Amino acid sequence: MVAAGLNVGGRSLPVKQNGPIFRNMKRAALILAFGLLATSPAFAFRCGTKIVSEGDTRSKVAAICGEPDDVVNQRSVFRRPVIWTRGRPYYIGEDFIEIPVESWIYNLGPNKLMQRVRFEGGVVVEIESLGYGYNK
């Protein structure tokens, strides 16, 4: 029995060590991992040097990004009042309350994507990237 390779007909076949294919795959996986870490999540966007994310209030977004380029008042939604305790929702009463819905659109210029920030009850619930912006 030969340790260096497979013995076939009295001859041994050489066993290749990890070749350049494995090194390239490791390098590609490493680049992909760093690329994923460098991107911002879909539920946030950068305004200057600060981040706007879900859960922020209208006043905080206005303080970070300034006034929006467009404000769209949408239909209100109706929900039961809820209190969250220890990660569980507890509904209060059987009646529904009206929650105003508003979208702010930020044009960040022709080299960046515009952002639509949707507020429900004054709190950011959704951030959506739109197409590229335009010169003002």
pLDDT in tens, 33-42: 665 555 545 5
Say which DSSP state 40 is in: P
- C-alpha separations of 59 from 62, 68, 106, 118, 122 in Å: 5, 12, 15, 13, 8
Average pLDDT on 72-91 reads 88
**Residue-level pLDDT at 82:** 85
Mean pLDDT of 108-122: 90
pLDDT at 15: 64
For the segment 47-52, the average pLDDT, to the nearest whole number, is: 87
Q: Would the pLDDT of 7 be above 90?
A: no
More confident residue, 2 or 9: 9
| Residue 71 pLDDT > 70 | yes
The structure's pTM equals 0.62
CA dihedral 87, 91, 96, 100 (to 10 degrees): -20
Q: Where are the domains of the chain?
A: 5-38, 44-132
Predicted confidence at residue 17, as pLDDT, reads 61
The overall average pLDDT reported for the chain is: 80
More confident residue, 83 or 34: 83
> First CA to last CA across the chain, in angstroms?
78
